[in-house]
Structure formats: C-alpha cells, structure tokens
Amino acid sequence: MNKKNHLKSTKITEIIWHFRTACRYFTFKIAKKYNLKGYVKNLSNGKVEVLFQGEKDALEKALNELWIGPVKGLVKNIDLKEQESIKIYQDFFIY
C-alpha cells in the first residue's frame, strides 16, 4: 500500500492564545518533533492557522501538545477540521 494513503491532514482553522508569544515557533518545534508536514501562519484577525500532515498517532500527539501551549501562551480555543489533502507538503513551514 502506498504510504500516501496512510497520511492524514488536520487543519486547525483557529487557535486562540491568550498571549501570542512564540506561538508559531512552538508549533514548528512540535511539527519537527513528530515529523509532521504543513504550515503555521498568523491570520489578519489575530488568530493562528495550522495545517499538519502526517501519521494519525503523530497528529494526535501534536494536538495534545498544542493544547498545553508555549510558556506564556495560554491556549483558549482550538477549532480543528480533518480534511483531504489537496497539496502534500514536503516540510513544515512558518508563514
């Protein structure tokens, strides 16, 4: 079976941190820790969007760590949606 078939994508359309200190870098470190691909970016409305692509177990572990949040970055809400990948990322990017 093709490894691509095992990949899942989870798009986090909204993460609201109380303080946005190092949120993108924190997310980047989690992605690297669990070998996830995708991106993290700040949105113009003050929220953060993340797209993780990877193995299901790695996605679950990464999401659990996101809930903990960075130091001084209390997480207030995470809105996530599983989606079919339109694009397959080769790495994890900070935009």
What is the C-alpha to C-alpha distance for residues 73 and 21, in angstroms, rounded to an integer? 6
- Length of the chain equals 95
H-run or E-run covering 7: none
Active-site option among 2, 5, 20, 24? 24
Active site includes 77? no
Catalytic residue among 42, 45, 64, 77: 42
| Inter-residue contact 24 to 42 (CB < 8 Å) | yes
Annotated catalytic, 20?
A: no
Contact by Cβ (8 Å): 58, 34: yes
Query: Catalytic amino acids?
Result: 24, 42
